[in-house]
Amino acid sequence: MKKLCLVALSITLAVVLACPALATSSEEEIAAEYLKEQGILEGDQNGDMNLASGLTRAQLAAVLTRLNGNQEHVQAEQEFYISQCKFPDVPAWARLYVGYCYFNSLMVGYDTGAFGADDGVTPAAACTVVLRYMDLPDIQWDYNTACQTALDQGLTTAEAVAKTEITRGDLAIMLYRALGNTDFEGSTVTEEPEGTISRNTDGSINLPADGSQYVPQEGDVIRCDDGTNYTITDVSRWDKNMFASGPVGELPEPTCDWSLMPQVELPAPEARHYSINDHEYLFVRNLYETRRMLYTLYNAIGDNPETWQNGAPVSHPSGAPKVQIYLSIDDGLNPRVFWPWRANQIIDLFNSCPPGTYRMEAWDVYKDGIFQRTEYNIHVR
């Protein structure tokens, strides 16, 4: 049925693209106009689509309901779907949409019991819901690889997934392409061999946001969070990494069912630039190595009988998880820092105090353009 719908939509898209009035429009404008005609994306009271504006999770639920659901059915069963919205922070106008998405496993809430109705939508979240809609049985992906998979399928751009939160225009393009339009002449995706980096007009690099690996090269120019550019001049220590004998190797493989673990969103990429005592430092948040820490902790949870029994995580009597995980460390906390990578630094720490809140992150450190090391930080409470 979905294939037949895509054929029909492709025909409609061809008609839209043939319209002279839209010939000089950008892809997001064409996408938004098409989605508006289909009743999927709505404008404000003035009809403005606000494509440059952010998108909230409540708004995304509305879009997904219109995309996935038969509108007559949704309206006829609105009392039921509203009753499925158990989240206290969802406004009245959005309860129908959130209830529909929750009942149909299109969106879930947070561990706190909130939905986060007013929170912005991350690229990973947007890519996840669009990939779920497309239903690609031959392609394996998860939340942490959703952005890369969406890029591989030509659904989005490196610029979009590099953002902290997507815009309405970003989502419009993603849905437009998911519905069959992949030949827009004005769209450009810069392919890079080392992860989903994108380049600015001056050639500087925006680091990948999807957790893929970025391997620095001499001459790379990193766009820093303060707007400056930082040039990498020496990466000879990359695989040595201060006392390491060689490359770290592949990411850990599951020794238990990771889908039952806390599903933690990756933080936004960061490139922090500091000038200290006539030296120029750069601290780059290494999301790939942060994933290494996360997966190592997942396996440690699965290997410890205090936190894993009968093929599932052990919860407190209240139902709350025994282990909470965050992939960033708040200012003011004093984490344990180690390098080079040693899995036992996480495994032994976990086994010494299994229940608790674990915060961790990895940073690449540069001094005067020279790569120094990758630091691994972990804090337990």
Are residue 321 and residue 259 in the same domain, yes or no?
yes
Are residue 33 and residue 171 in the same domain, yes or no?
yes
Alpha-carbon distances of 143 from 110, 132, 148, 359, rounded to whole Å = 15, 11, 10, 19
Are residue 168 and residue 224 in the same domain, yes or no?
no
Assess if residue 231 is contained within a domain.
Answer: yes
Are residue 236 and residue 140 in the same domain, yes or no?
no
Instruction: Pick the last residue of a domain from 177, 207, 240.
Output: 177
Confidence (pLDDT) at 12: 39
* Amino acid found at 83: S
Confidence (pLDDT) at 196: 63
Angstrom distance (rounded) from CA 355 to CA 318: 14
Are residue 258 and residue 313 in the same domain, yes or no?
yes
Are residue 85 and residue 35 in the same domain, yes or no?
yes
Low-confidence stretches of the chain (pLDDT beneath 70):
1-25, 181-196, 242
User: How many domains would you assign to the chain?
Assistant: 2
Q: What are phi and psi of 321, to 5 degrees?
A: -65, 145
DSSP symbols for 182-229: ---TT------SSSS-EE-TTSPEEPPSSS------TT-EEEPTTS-E
Are residue 128 and residue 244 in the same domain, yes or no?
no
**Is residue 39 within 8 Å of 184, Cβ to Cβ?**
no
Alpha-carbon distances of 114 from 58, 120, 190, 320, rounded to whole Å = 12, 14, 37, 14
Of 223, 91, 92, 211, residue with least CA distance to 147: 211
Q: Radius of gyration (Cα) for the chain, nearest Å?
A: 23
Assess if residue 193 is contained within a domain.
Answer: no
Are residue 39 and residue 168 in the same domain, yes or no?
yes
Assess if residue 65 is contained within a domain.
Answer: yes
Q: Beta strand pairing status for 336-338 and 279-285?
A: unpaired
Confidence (pLDDT) at 25: 60
164: how many CB neighbours lie within 10 A of its CB?
13
Are residue 274 and residue 157 in the same domain, yes or no?
no
Q: Quick check: bond before 123 cis, omega within 30? A: no
Angstrom distance (rounded) from CA 134 to CA 178: 7
Q: What is the DSSP letter of 122?
A: P
Three-state secondary structure string covering 139-187: CCCCHHHHHHHHHHCCCCCHHHHCCCCCEHHHHHHHHHHHCCCCCCCCC
Confidence (pLDDT) at 282: 97
Query: 């040039």: which residue's tokens?
Result: 231
Assess if residue 222 is contained within a domain.
Answer: yes
Provide the domain limits for residue 295: 218-378
Assess if residue 299 is contained within a domain.
Answer: yes
Are residue 171 and residue 234 in the same domain, yes or no?
no
Are residue 284 and residue 368 in the same domain, yes or no?
yes
Tokens of 308: 């894993």
What's the sign of the alpha-carbon dihedral 149, 155, 160, 166? negative
Give the max Cα distance, the chain.
68
Of 347, 359, 249, residue with least CA distance to 302: 347
Assess if residue 10 is contained within a domain.
Answer: no
Instruction: Pick the last residue of a domain from 148, 177, 206.
Output: 177
Assess if residue 96 is contained within a domain.
Answer: yes
Instruction: Pick the last residue of a domain from 177, 193, 209.
Output: 177
**Is residue 234 within 8 Å of 371, Cβ to Cβ?**
yes
Confidence (pLDDT) at 154: 85
Angstrom distance (rounded) from CA 199 to CA 222: 9
Are residue 292 and residue 349 in the same domain, yes or no?
yes
* Amino acid found at 70: N
Confidence (pLDDT) at 187: 38
Confidence (pLDDT) at 195: 53
